[in-house]
C-alpha cells in the first residue's frame, strides 16, 4: 500500500481537492481534537497503571507459566484467576484504545485527521466529536466490523 493508491488524483483535480481538504482541516480545529485525544490517552494510561498494580504486574506483563500455574490450581484460586483474567482483558482493551488514539494523533501529525483511512472521504464532525479517535467513516467502520 503506497501513497499513490490512496492519494493519487488526476493532476487537474488535485489542486482544488487539496484546497477543499485544507478548508475541512481548518474547520475541524484539529488542535482541539489533539488535546482531547492526549487527555484521553493520559487517562487510559492511569487506568492501566491501576489495573497493573491490582494484578501485581509491571510493564513486562504476566509470564505465561504464571498463568498456567493458576490454571493448574482451580480450587481456591478460581475466583482470583477469574478476577485476574478480567483485569488482563481490561488492560488489553485499554492498550488497544491507546493504539487507536496514537493512530488518530498520527493522522493529525500527517494532516489527514478527519479523513477515512479506507475510502479517503471526510469523517463527519459529528462522528469525530463522538469518537475522536475514529480513523474510518461510519460506512467503512461497519464494513470492517462486518455489520
Interface positions with Zn ion (CB under 5 A): 116, 118-119, 137, 140
Q: Which is nearer to Zn ion, 50 or 119 (CB)?
A: 119
Cβ 118 to Zn ion shortest distance, Å: 5
Cβ 116 to Zn ion shortest distance, Å: 3
Q: Which is nearer to Zn ion, 101 or 140 (CB)?
A: 140
Q: Which is nearer to Zn ion, 6 or 93 (CB)?
A: 6
Q: Which is nearer to Zn ion, 51 or 140 (CB)?
A: 140
- The secondary structure of the chain, three-state, reads CCHHHHHCCCHHHHHHHHHHHHHHHHHHCHHHHHHHHHHHHHHHHHHHHHHHHHHCCCCCCCCHHHHHHHHCCHHHHHHHHHHHHHHHHHHHHHHHHHHHHHHHHHHHHHCCCCECCCCCCECCHHHHHHCCCCCCCHHHHHHHCCC
Cβ 4 to Zn ion shortest distance, Å: 18
Cβ 140 to Zn ion shortest distance, Å: 3
Amino acid at each position: 500500500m503506497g501513497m499513490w493508491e490512496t492519494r493519487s488524483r488526476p493532476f487537474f483535480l488535485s489542486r482544488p481537492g487539496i484546497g477543499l481538504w485544507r478548508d475541512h482541516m481548518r474547520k475541524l480545529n484539529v488542535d482541539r481534537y489533539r488535546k482531547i485525544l492526549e487527555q484521553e490517552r493520559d487517562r487510559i494510561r492511569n487506568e492501566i497503571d491501576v489495573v497493573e498494580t491490582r494484578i501485581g504486574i509491571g510493564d513486562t506483563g504476566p509470564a505465561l507459566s504464571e498463568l498456567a500455574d493458576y490454571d493448574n490450581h482451580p480450587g481456591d484460586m478460581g475466583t482470583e484467576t477469574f478476577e485476574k483474567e478480567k483485569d488482563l482483558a481490561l488492560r488489553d482493551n485499554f492498550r488497544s484504545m491507546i493504539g487507536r488514539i496514537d493512530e488518530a494523533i498520527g493522522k493529525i501529525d500527517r494532516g489527514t485527521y478527519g479523513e477515512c483511512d479506507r475510502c479517503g472521504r471526510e469523517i463527519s464532525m459529528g462522528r469525530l466529536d463522538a469518537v475522536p479517535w475514529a480513523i474510518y467513516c461510519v460506512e467503512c467502520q461497519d464494513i470492517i466490523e462486518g455489520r
